[in-house]
Amino acid sequence: MDLKHSRSVKLNDGHFMPVLAFGTLASDDVPKSKAAEATKMAIDVGFRHIDAAYVYQNEKEVGQAIRDKIADGTVKREDIFYTTKLWATFLRPELVRPALERSLKNLQLDYVDLFIIHIPTAMKPGEDLMPMDASGKLIFDTVDLRETWEALEKCKDAGLTKSIGVSNFNHKLLEMILNKPGLKYKPVCNQVECHPYLNQSKLLEFCKSKDIVLVAYSALGSQRDANWMEKDSPILLEDRILNAIAKKHGRNPGQVALRYQVQRGVVVLAKSFNEKRIKENFQIFDFELTPEDMKAIDGLNRNFRFIKLLFFADHPDFPFHDEY
C-alpha cells in the first residue's frame, strides 16, 4: 500500500483526496483570526484536506495559515488538498473563472485541488452573497448548470484547479451533468449533508455506481447556527446507540460518527475550532467498527436534514424535493 495515499481515495480523474477533511465554516460571531489558528492546529495534528469556500469569507485567513505551515516546513504545498466552492451568485459561465481567481488571490495560492459548485440554486449575480428583494425574498437567477460545468472544466484545463466537482446535488442534477453532450470531465465528488440521521444510502449507491465520491458535511450533526437550522433539531452526538458504541471502543461519539463514514467509503469533514476536539477528530484511523456496529448505526437513519436550505425551496433547481 502506498503510504502517502493510504488515508486517501482515488478520484475518477486520477488525483487522490484524503478521506478526512478539516472544515473551515464558522458562524458570524467567530472572529476570522480563529479560522487561521484552527487551520494551523489542524495541519499540525495531521489534517491534509482543508475544506473551504468563498462564501465562508475567511479564505484570506485560511490561506495564510496554509502558507505559514508551508513556510515553517510542516508541509509542502503538494501535501495539502484544498477545496474551495463556487457560490450561487457566480453560476453564470462567464463568472466562474473570475470567482475562482478571486479565491486564489485571497488564498495567495497558484491553484486549488478541488473546485466545486457549492449549491445548484443560482442567484442574482453581484457582490451581495444573499441578494434579496425589498420583501426579504432571495432573488434567483436562471442558469443552465451544464454551461456552468463547462466553465469549471475550463478552469481545470487552465491549471487553476486539479479536480472539479459539485455539492448539494441530487441524483437528477448529477445525471444532467453526466449526460451532457460533449462532457469532458465527470464531477469527482458530490458534497452533501450526511450523518447517521441522514445516511444518504441511495445517493451513496448512485454516486459509487458513477465513480463519484460522496463527501459528508455536518457529519457530527451541525453547529446549531440558528440562521441555518431549527433550534429543536435532535443532537446527534447525544444519541444513545452512538454513545454505547463509543463506550465499547473507548472513543467518543464524534469519532464513531466520523469512522462510520470512512468505513462506508465516504470522505468526511470534521469541523471544530477547539484544539482538543480537532485532535480527537483526527484520531479515527486506529480503531475499527464491527459489522454489527455499522448495522446499528445504519439503523439510526431517519432522513433528518439539519441544513434544510428552505429559503431556496422555490428555485427550479432546488435539490431536496426529491428523495435522493
- Residues 135 and 129: their CA atoms lie apart, in Å, by 17
Which CATH fold would you assign to the domain 8-312?
Answer: TIM Barrel (3.20.20)
| Mean pLDDT, all residues of the chain | 95
Closest C-alpha to 54, from 123, 111, 113, 105: 105
Strands (E), 43-95: 49-51, 81-86
Residue 158 grid coordinates: 487552465
From the list 56, 82, 197, 260, the catalytic residue is: 56
Residue 52: count other Cβ atoms within 10 Å of its Cβ.
27
Q: What would the pLDDT profile of 112-157 be if each residue is shown by its tens digit? A: 999 999 999 999 999 999 999 999 999 999 999 999 999 999 999 9
- Residues 9 and 184: their CA atoms lie apart, in Å, by 21
Residue 316: count other Cβ atoms within 10 Å of its Cβ.
9
The pLDDT of residue 1 is: 40
CA–CA–CA angle 98, 104, 107 (5° rounding): 145
- Residues 302 and 136: their CA atoms lie apart, in Å, by 32
Q: How far is CA 208 from CA 2, 12, 21, 166, 202, in A?
A: 22, 11, 20, 15, 10
Is 321 marked as binding a ligand?
Answer: no
Q: pLDDT-derived band of residue 27, with 50, 70 and 90 as boundaries?
A: confident
Closest C-alpha to 323, from 225, 202, 237: 202
Q: What would the pLDDT profile of 146-170 be if each residue is shown by its tens digit? A: 999 999 999 999 999 999 999 999 9
Percent helix / strand / coil, the chain, rounded to 5: 40, 15, 45
H/E stretch holding 30 reads none
H/E stretch holding 102 reads helix 93-107
Catalytic, 111? Answer no
The pLDDT of residue 155 is: 98
Task: Specify the pTM.
Answer: 0.96
The residues near 195 (Cβ < 8 Å, ≥ 6 apart) are: 216, 218, 219, 220, 221, 236, 257, 306
Q: What would the pLDDT profile of 167-206 be if each residue is shown by its tens digit? A: 999 999 999 999 999 999 999 999 999 999 999 999 999 9
Flag whether pLDDT at 3 surpasses 60. no
Flag whether pLDDT at 225 surpasses 70. no
Residue 96: what are its φ and ψ, rounded to 5°? -65, -55
Q: pLDDT-derived band of residue 312, with 50, 70 and 90 as boundaries?
A: very high
- Residues 305 and 194: their CA atoms lie apart, in Å, by 8
Flag whether pLDDT at 2 surpasses 60. no
